[in-house]
Structure 1
Amino acid sequence: MPHPPRIPHRSRARLLPLLAAASLAAGLLAVPAGGAGAPASAAASSGAAVPAIPTVDPAGQTYLVTLVTGDVVGVSMLPDGRQSAWVESSAATVQPRIYEQDGHVHVVPAAAEPFLRSDRVDERLFDVTYLVQEGYHDGVTAELPLLITPDDDGDAALLAAPAGTRAVRELASIDAVAVTAPKAEVGTVWAQLEAGTIGQVW
């Protein structure tokens, strides 16, 4: 199936503030409490990360983060800046790719690799350092804010209310809709991306 139209670079640069606005509208952002769990394996070590728009200081805590694929990842952040990540829960049989870049730890399930290469999913959805710092970890919210673009046919009805999500705001200027997806059902969104009934997820 042909790839859906890609979001222009200028529009893509606007997605972070739009996501933040959608999250605020949905009442998702809050000061996080420490998560639970212990690391099974160290995956990355780095200096202290400096996010573009920091909302919390996560150093010295452990968190659980549900990815858009439905996989649950554990993240440990030490006061000295070292970070580690591990798979807490996953239906996948292949281990994810875990790496550190520019002070951020990324956990990329094998199922997500082709969608990252084809620019159909935002890499920040697998940047667990970013997700913790922005208050999207499981200790704060049971929902994940997303931007959805339509399938190849530009189905307006699907764009307005993809299965497993709640529409927060339509963004006609970039042909997208801001939604929240319950983490317990986020796998439904991922299945639609795999089936091609959703164009892109950001």
Structure 2
Amino acid sequence: MRTTTRWAGVAVLAMAVAVQPQAVAEAGGQAADGVRTVTLVTGDKVTVTGPTSAAVEPGEGREKATFLTDVAEGRLRVLPDDAVPLVRAGRLDPRLFDVTGLLELGYDDSRQELPLLVTGASGPAPALRAMSGYWTLGAVRGFAVRQRRGEAVRTWQALAAGTGKVWLDGRRRVTLDVSVKQVGAQTTWCMDSAVLAGMQWAAEQGARIVNLSLGSPDTPGVDPLEEAVQTLSERHGTLFVTAAGNDGADRRLSSPGTADAALQVGAVSKTGEQAEFASRGPHAGDDHLKPDITAPGVDITAARGKDSPGDGSYAAMSGISMATPHVTGVAALLAGQHPGWKGGLLKAALMGAARPLPGIGVFAQGADSWTPTVARARPSPSSRPR
């Protein structure tokens, strides 16, 4: 039976099939290297048997389940029929069923637990509170848990019956460009739950400016880190200065800088040309203007780390993570001059004081490039927070 479902707002034509332990879909070459198995949040197992095929085995007691399978742009997705209404209702993160994505994150069955986030929950059921790794995350009115593979069928029932939205506890890449591959930093990942906990701790400790040089591809809607930026900004007046990303393409911005309250930073050269690695807007879903501002991020001299190649005390590096701290530092200086200003006012002042750079589109530079004359920074009428 041919059916149509939606993955993150995109219509996908899929095939509903009664699954036996046999090949059911053609998976892209990126899905696996050899045979790897992923247990979905529902307890069903997907085994990628080679570069182009996969097999699905229903979880215990789920032998009558059917599955929507899809292969698009080299990515395999498998969606059990009882999860379809929850995905459509926005209560399940579609990434939970992106087999290729789960493999890329290392969330196959070599890992004994699947990390999850639940946001907007009115209160966890006892079965969820008893799950491994449970801890609360007030910034998203939810909690983090780890689902043991052998308990997936049972805990799936509790998750599906609960309130709030169930997310994959994904991993954010530190936003460094190709110039630092040799030191291994470009492969650094942070768990979403750990980032959320750090953001909440910093805001609660009174930090007025927080630098977030990390991200993952933005999607339509509000993800947990974007929600946390909004909540903590409103609750504590914190300004989160965030990276636009290093994908070097239009509509490829990184979350959580895409949150409205965040000050998202793009990159230019020292002489004001667009950095070729810098991600550009607009915001996914609504074409909202992002990034908000730019700063130098090409061949920036910084202290050399102990694992960096070469000699001397300093090294030149490029990337959004070299641009973002420029703005964070300027924001901190401005906050020091104006102790009563909250994050929204600091953001407005910095954007209002930015100067335009010729030849760069608005979705690459936002309000244009920062200016070091922070003493004169004042929020313009058009950039005042509303």
Pair in the same fold by TM > 0.5: yes
Classify 1:169/1:135 alpha carbon distance in 2 versus 1 (closer, same or farther; 3 Å): same
1:40 aligns with 2:22: yes
Q: Pairwise mapping of residues 49-88 of structure 1 onto structure 2 (< 5 A)?
A: 58-59=32-33, 61-78=34-51, 83-88=52-57
* Structure 1 runs, 4 residues or longer, greater than 6 Å off: none
Q: Cα offset for 1:72?
A: 1.0
User: What's the counterpart of residue 118 of structure 2?
Assistant: 148
Q: Cα offset for 1:135?
A: 1.0
Q: Cα offset for 1:199?
A: 2.2
Contact 2:118–2:165 (CA<8 Å) still a contact in 1?
A: yes
Q: Pairwise mapping of residues 47-196 of structure 1 onto structure 2 (< 5 A)?
A: 48=30, 58-59=32-33, 61-78=34-51, 83-90=52-59, 91-138=62-109, 140-151=110-121, 154-155=122-123, 158=124, 162-163=128-129, 165-195=131-161
Q: Take 2:119 and 2:57, find their aligned partners in 1: how far apart are those partners?
A: 30
Task: Tell me the matched-pair count.
Answer: 145
Classify 1:69/1:42 alpha carbon distance in 2 versus 1 (closer, same or farther; 3 Å): closer
Q: Take 2:108 and 2:30, find their aligned partners in 1: how far apart are those partners?
A: 18
Higher relative contact order (CA 8 A, sep 6+): 1
Contact 2:70–2:78 (CA<8 Å) still a contact in 1?
A: yes
Q: Take 1:112 and 1:149, find their aligned partners in 2: how far apart are those partners?
A: 18
Q: Which AA in structure 1 matches 2:46?
A: V
What do residues 26-56 of structure 1 show as CA deviations (whole Å, max 9, x unaligned)? Answer: xxxxxxxxxxxxx82251254647xxxxxxx
Contact 2:116–2:147 (CA<8 Å) still a contact in 1?
A: yes
Instruction: List alignment gaps of at least 5 residues for structure 1.
Output: 1-38, 50-57
Q: Cα offset for 1:164?
A: 5.0
Give me the identity figure in percent: 36
SS across alignment from 2:71: strand
Q: Take 2:128 and 2:156, find their aligned partners in 1: how far apart are those partners?
A: 11
Classify 1:172/1:184 alpha carbon distance in 2 versus 1 (closer, same or farther; 3 Å): same
Classify 1:184/1:107 alpha carbon distance in 2 versus 1 (closer, same or farther; 3 Å): same
Q: Take 1:187 and 1:124, find their aligned partners in 2: how far apart are those partners?
A: 18
- Could you tell me the TM-score, scaled by structure 1's length? 0.63
Contact 1:160–1:170 (CA<8 Å) still a contact in 2?
A: no
Q: Take 1:47 and 1:182, find their aligned partners in 2: how far apart are those partners?
A: 28
Contact 1:68–1:186 (CA<8 Å) still a contact in 2?
A: yes
Q: Take 1:122 and 1:147, find their aligned partners in 2: how far apart are those partners?
A: 10
Classify 1:68/1:126 alpha carbon distance in 2 versus 1 (closer, same or farther; 3 Å): same
Contact 1:160–1:177 (CA<8 Å) still a contact in 2?
A: no
SS across alignment from 2:128: coil
RMSD of the TM alignment (CA)? 2.4
- Could you tell me the TM-score, scaled by structure 2's length? 0.34
Contact 1:68–1:125 (CA<8 Å) still a contact in 2?
A: yes
Bigger Cα displacement from structure 2, 67-76 vs 113-122: 67-76
Classify 1:161/1:93 alpha carbon distance in 2 versus 1 (closer, same or farther; 3 Å): closer
Q: Cα offset for 1:163?
A: 4.6
Q: Pairwise mapping of residues 12-31 of structure 1 onto structure 2 (< 5 A)?
A: none
